[in-house]
């Protein structure tokens, strides 16, 4: 069961290590496939029976180390519905790679966009 999503692999590894120290086994999904396909996030997954315990551990660790309740305030929030369930579009990275392969130079003028999973709202990153 996915309990958290991270945009940085290092943050996901840290969360996994914190859970391991507390005796909760966790795995990172989509880490290795990011090399082939530009995925915007890494998923932290635990067994369904350990999900509540893992969320409590991560929230307590976040408050202890950063002083931020739940650790969610450091991530972007949907301006439309205030949800944290966001994804980033991978199209600009794909366009840069394809233009580099076809033209010999990467086209880097495109900006990434955020998309809210809850309401579907999209905006520039």
* Domain harbouring 24, CATH code: 3.30.70
Average pLDDT of the segment spanning 26-54: 80
Q: Does 110 have pLDDT greater than 70? A: no
- pLDDT, residue 73, reads 41
- Look at strands 86-88 and 113-116 and give their pairing: antiparallel
Domain check: are 12 and 63 in the same one? yes
Q: Is 42 helix (H, G, I), strand (E, B) or coil?
A: strand
Q: Which residues pair with 45 in a beta bridge?
A: 2, 27
Confidence bin at 107 (pLDDT 50/70/90): low
Q: For the chain, give me the number of helices (H) and strands (E)?
A: 3, 6
Query: Measured between alpha carbons, how far is 20 from 99 in angstroms, rounded to an integer?
Result: 42
Say how many domains are in the chain: 2
Q: Single out the residue of 74, 89, 90 nearest to residue 123, CA to CA.
A: 89
Query: Measured between alpha carbons, how far is 56 from 38 in angstroms, rounded to an integer?
Result: 30
What is the phi/psi pair of residue 44, to 5°?
-100, 120
Kindly report, residue by residue over 77-87, the tens digit of the pLDDT.
788 887 777 77
Q: Which two structure tokens, joined as six digits, stand for 49?
A: 């029976």
Neighbours of 57 (CB within 10 A): 20
Most confident range (mean pLDDT) of 33-42, 70-79, 81-90 is: 81-90
Predicted TM-score (pTM) of the model is 0.51
Kindly report, residue by residue over 44-71, the tens digit of the pLDDT.
999 999 989 998 898 887 555 444 334 4
Average pLDDT of the segment spanning 12-29: 91
Domain check: are 91 and 68 in the same one? no
Domain check: are 42 and 102 in the same one? no
**What is the percent of the chain with per-residue pLDDT over 90, rounded to a whole number?**
18
Domain check: are 8 and 65 in the same one? yes
Domain check: are 64 and 92 in the same one? no
Q: Does 125 have pLDDT greater than 80? A: no
Domain that holds residue 97: 86-124
Q: Which two structure tokens, joined as six digits, stand for 57?
A: 């551990």
């Amino acid at each position: 069961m996915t309990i958290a999503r991270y945009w940085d692999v290092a943050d996901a590894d840290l969360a996994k290590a914190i859970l391991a120290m507390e005796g909760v086994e966790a795995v990172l999904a989509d880490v290795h496939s990011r090399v082939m396909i530009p995925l915007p996030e890494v998923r932290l997954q635990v067994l369904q029976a350990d999900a509540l315990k893992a969320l409590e551990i991560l929230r307590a660790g976040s408050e202890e180390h950063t002083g931020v309740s739940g650790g969610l305030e450091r991530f972007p929030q949907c301006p439309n519905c205030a949800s944290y369930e966001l994804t980033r579009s991978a199209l600009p990275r794909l366009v840069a790679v394809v233009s580099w392969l076809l033209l010999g130079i990467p086209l880097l003028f495109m900006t990434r966009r955020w998309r809210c999973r809850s309401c579907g709202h999209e905006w520039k990153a």
